[in-house]
Structure 1
Amino acid sequence: MRVTSTTSQWTGIAIGVVVGATLLNAFARRGTGAGSSSGGETAVHLDAARSFNRSSALLALSVLADSSIEHYRGSFSNKAMYTPLITSVLSLAAGVHGGTDNVAKTHRVRHAIYLAAASAGLAGTGFHIYNITKRPGGVSWHNLFYAAPIGAPVALLLSGALGAVAERLRDEPAVEPQLFGMQAGRALGLVAAFGLAGTVGEVALLHFRGSYQNPAMYAPVTAGPLACVLLTHAALAAPRERWITRAWLRITAALGFIGMGFHARGVARNQGGWRNWSQNVLNGPPLPAPPSFTALALAGLAALRLRGTEK
């Protein structure tokens, strides 16, 4: 029984590693800039936009799975709880479509979907904050731990923001594109770094709730902040090759899927394991949460590629 138990606990980690390696390889192959026939600069320009579309899609998928589980657990007591499911499905579809679109022009339908997703995420954040403050004790550790999670709707906000930025980038000229009054690579790097910082904050809170009982729980709250710092420095400093930042972002991207494997192991360790999945998936560590790191790290890599072409 001991061998069987150990095997079942580590199967989830193996699955996470295999899935992560496969998807990261797919992203890497798509990120070579082969989709454009208008020249190298245009290829990099559109490659960054498509990469942000794909990162938005991965975040939307994470939100869809996570909100489906959490809001099902809450019995959809408020009809507004269906909103993130609808908007994340639309954002996912827009991201998949945009990830294969080579047209250097904003797609109005996709852009509208992304803005709606960002608005839903912003409104959801307000709802979750209200849910915390209305409970006895108001803003307290207990309510931050067990009330509606603040970070969940922020992920939907980020999905919409990454997609909207991708669409806006498509309207910029291929040579020296600008976003928010600065070089596009710099702007994209700061957007991805901001998203990483928010994700690290949510993970730190929930892993603190778990008392860091497994040493692996320290990995995202150490790798994530360092990735954020390196990416911010790469965005603000003079453009040059930054292989350390690139390598660390790849590690952070892989960490997202490895974390999903650890969360699957956490589900397996509950009473009944995966045989009692309908109960343990609701009460165990959230399976869809770790890939948020992957999505934002991949966005950071895209920003880094574009930053490397700037002067």
Structure 2
Amino acid sequence: MSRGTAIATAGISVLGALALAVTHAPDVTEPVARPAPVDPSAAVRAARRMNRAAGLIAGSVLADSAIEHYRGSFQNKAMVAPLATSFLSLLVSAHGHMDKRPSPHRLRDAIYAAAAVTGLIGTGFHLFNVTKKPGGLSWQNLFYSAPIGAPAALILSGAMGFLSERVRDTTPGTVPTILGIPAGRAVAAATSLGLLGTVGEAGLLHLRGSFQNPFMYLPVTAPPVAAALIGHAAAGATRQPRRITRWWLRLTAVLGFAGAGFHAYGVSRAMGGWRNWRQNLVDGPPIPAPPSFTGLALAGLAALGLMEDHPDD
């Protein structure tokens, strides 16, 4: 190959490379797609939603435990503990709802942790109360002894509140994490497990009532679907809109308040109705219990908001 031919060949190669680069270069007249900036206030908004959820569950536990422990005449002095911790959890949840600062609060952290520990200890007490009776862990004792699921709701309230403070403790512009797990996924998984536990308690009490009202099937059918949907969201893609999951969680939230209305109606049907409220309120279906579904549904919606605002895939 002559020197001139070699030079011509090299020149053609360079021109070809330049042409290839030009044809694959982005059009400077069109904007280049960039990832959307993370809203620094999004984590605080989600944390405030979780504060509301924790407060609603705490209020439910406060009213429910007050009635149940009044029925037990506060025979054990420790029966005052869940009233105190759930009341404090309710107060700090209201404080967290109003707090727009992107940093955790030590007092809220301490009270939420105390509520969760109190619920854990209470679950142990209630389980011991069931097993010490003749027949042990039998249906009869599960139906009419201290409800195992009631103090577990206090665990959920404390856990949701504690997680809300972890969500606040996030560097602006980054994905919030809890123990190295994206916060949206962690809260969604906790919500799914909490819903399943609450369904178990509702199923036990409605089985005791023989499902005499067809509406008694709703708390054991609708919330499990919500638990499955939010559990799937916890393990799936975060960029999906999840419209069905959102609407089903909203349905579950409405179901919680509707359940309180149904239980109030059940109290009114007892002998003497509301005129005999001192007895019927204690012996009738627990009015404060169903709103726990509402609190967990709100936590699930907060988790979806976190995953939407802070996608990690």
State the TM-score, normalized to the length of structure 1.
0.86
3-state SS of the aligned residue for 1:99? Answer: helix
Give 1:47 deviation, angstroms. Answer: 1.0
Give 1:181 deviation, angstroms. Answer: 1.7
Give 1:180 deviation, angstroms. Answer: 2.3
**Which deviations, in whole Å up to 9, do the C-alpha atoms of 1:102-124 show, x marking residues without a partner?**
11111000100000000000000
Task: Establish whether residue 236 from structure 1 lines up as the match of residue 223 from structure 2.
Answer: no
Task: Establish whether residue 258 from structure 1 lines up as the match of residue 258 from structure 2.
Answer: yes
Give 1:40 deviation, angstroms. Answer: 6.2
Structure 2 gap ranges (5+) = 1-36
Counterpart AA for 1:192: T
Counterpart AA for 2:108: R
Residue 114 of structure 1 corresponds to 112
Give 1:179 deviation, angstroms. Answer: 1.2
Q: Equivalent residues in 2 for 1:133-212 (5 A)?
A: 133-174=131-172, 175-212=174-211
Which one is further off, 247-256 or 184-193? 184-193
**Which deviations, in whole Å up to 9, do the C-alpha atoms of 1:106-159 show, x marking residues without a partner?**
100010000000000000000001001100010000000011000010011111
Residue 3 of structure 2 corresponds to none
Q: Equivalent residues in 2 for 1:1-311 (5 A)?
A: 41-174=39-172, 175-239=174-238, 240-309=240-309, 310=311, 311=313
Which one is further off, 182-191 or 113-122? 182-191
3-state SS of the aligned residue for 2:152? Answer: helix
Q: Residues of 2 paired with 1:206 and 1:113: CA distance?
A: 30
Q: Residues of 2 paired with 1:157 and 1:241: CA distance?
A: 30
Q: Residues of 1 paired with 2:263 and 2:67: CA distance?
A: 14
Higher relative contact order (CA 8 A, sep 6+): 1
Percent sequence identity over aligned pairs: 60
Q: Residues of 2 paired with 1:216 and 1:180: CA distance?
A: 40
Q: Residues of 1 paired with 2:47 and 2:257: CA distance?
A: 23
Counterpart AA for 1:285: P
3-state SS of the aligned residue for 2:221? Answer: helix
Aligned length: 273
**Which deviations, in whole Å up to 9, do the C-alpha atoms of 1:194-216 show, x marking residues without a partner?**
11111011001111111100000
Give 1:42 deviation, angstroms. Answer: 2.1
Q: Residues of 2 paired with 1:139 and 1:266: CA distance?
A: 28
Q: Residues of 2 paired with 1:104 and 1:232: CA distance?
A: 27
Q: Residues of 1 paired with 2:47 and 2:192: CA distance?
A: 17
Q: Residues of 1 paired with 2:130 and 2:296: CA distance?
A: 27
Q: Residues of 1 paired with 2:47 and 2:155: CA distance?
A: 18
Residue 8 of structure 1 corresponds to none
3-state SS of the aligned residue for 2:40? Answer: helix
Q: Residues of 2 paired with 1:199 and 1:180: CA distance?
A: 25
Counterpart AA for 1:253: A
Give 1:182 deviation, angstroms. Answer: 1.4
Over alpha carbons, which structure has the higher Rg? Answer: 2
3-state SS of the aligned residue for 1:131? Answer: helix
3-state SS of the aligned residue for 1:305? Answer: helix
Residue 19 of structure 1 corresponds to none
**Which deviations, in whole Å up to 9, do the C-alpha atoms of 1:60-111 show, x marking residues without a partner?**
1001100000000000000000000100110000101001111111100010
Which one is further off, 276-285 or 166-175? 166-175
Counterpart AA for 1:227: A
Q: Residues of 2 paired with 1:181 and 1:144: CA distance?
A: 38
Q: Residues of 2 paired with 1:201 and 1:42: CA distance?
A: 38
Give 1:284 deviation, angstroms. Answer: 0.6
Structure 1 gap ranges (5+) = 1-38
Which consecutive segments of 4 or more residues in structure 1 shift more than 3 A? Answer: none
Q: Residues of 1 paired with 2:302 and 2:256: CA distance?
A: 17
Q: Residues of 1 paired with 2:60 and 2:68: CA distance?
A: 12
Give 1:168 deviation, angstroms. Answer: 1.3
3-state SS of the aligned residue for 1:41? Answer: coil
Q: Residues of 2 paired with 1:268 and 1:154: CA distance?
A: 28
Counterpart AA for 1:230: L
Q: Residues of 2 paired with 1:184 and 1:78: CA distance?
A: 39
State the TM-score, normalized to the length of structure 2.
0.86
Counterpart AA for 1:180: L
